[in-house]
Amino acid sequence: MRALVTGAAGFVGRWLTDALRADGVAVTALALSASPDARDPNARDATDEWAPIDWRFGDLRDDAFVASTVESSAPDFVVHLAAISHLPTAAADPASAWDVNVTATARLLSHVERLRAGGQVDPTVLIVGSAEQYGRQGAGATPIREDAVQEPRTVYAATKAAQEVLALQTWRASGLRVVVARSFNHSGRGQEPRFLLPALVARALALRDAPVGTPLTVGNTAPIRDFLHVSDVVAAYISLLRRGTAGEAYNVASGAGWSVQDIIERVLARVGISAPIVTDPALVRPVDVPALVGDSLKLQLATGWRATRAVDDIIDDLIHAATY
The better pLDDT of the pair 288, 76 is held by 76
Read off the pLDDT of each residue in 42-48 and give the average, rounded to a whole number.
Answer: 48
Q: Quick check: 276 pLDDT over 50?
A: yes
pLDDT confidence bin for 141, thresholds 50/70/90:
confident
Read off the pLDDT of each residue in 30-48 and give the average, rounded to a whole number.
Answer: 56
Q: What is the pLDDT of residue 324?
A: 79
Q: What is the pLDDT of residue 287?
A: 63
Q: Quick check: 119 pLDDT over 70?
A: yes
Strands of 155-292, DSSP E: 177-183, 186-187, 216-218, 224-225, 228-229, 249-252, 258-259, 277-279, 291-292
Percent of the chain clearing pLDDT 90 (strictly above):
84
Instruction: Give, to the nearest 10 degrees, the angle between helix 104-117 and helix 155-174.
Output: 10
Read off the pLDDT of each residue in 267-275 and give the average, rounded to a whole number.
Answer: 95
Q: Quick check: 48 pLDDT over 60?
A: no
Running DSSP on this structure, what letter comes out for residue 150? P
The partner residues of 28 in beta bridges, in order of sequence, read: 4, 54
The structural domains of the chain, ordered by start, are 2-187+228-255+293-308 (3.40.50.720)
Tell me the pLDDT tens digit for each residue of 293-321.
999 999 999 999 999 999 999 999 999 99
Please report, to the nearest 10 degrees, the dihedral formed by the alpha carbons of residues 235, 236, 238, 239 taken in order.
110
Q: Quick check: 41 pLDDT over 80?
A: no
Running DSSP on this structure, what letter comes out for residue 243? H
Q: What is the pLDDT of residue 98?
A: 97
Q: Is the pTM of this model over 0.85?
A: yes
Tell me the pLDDT tens digit for each residue of 58-88.
999 999 999 999 999 999 999 999 999 999 9
Average pLDDT, the chain: 92
Residue among 92, 134, 100 at smallest CA distance from 285: 92
CA–CA separation, 106 and 85 (whole Å): 17
pLDDT confidence bin for 47, thresholds 50/70/90:
low
The better pLDDT of the pair 7, 287 is held by 7
Q: What is the pLDDT of residue 45?
A: 44
Q: What is the pLDDT of residue 24?
A: 93
Q: Quick check: 40 pLDDT over 90?
A: no
User: Which region among 216-220, 235-239, 243-247, 313-317 has the lowest average model confidence (pLDDT)?
Assistant: 216-220
Omega cis (within 30) before 88: no
Q: What is the pLDDT of residue 39?
A: 43
Tell me the pLDDT tens digit for each residue of 182-234.
999 999 999 999 899 999 999 999 999 899 889 999 988 999 999 999 999 99
Q: Quick check: 140 pLDDT over 80?
A: no
Residue among 182, 174, 171, 173 at smallest CA distance from 147: 182
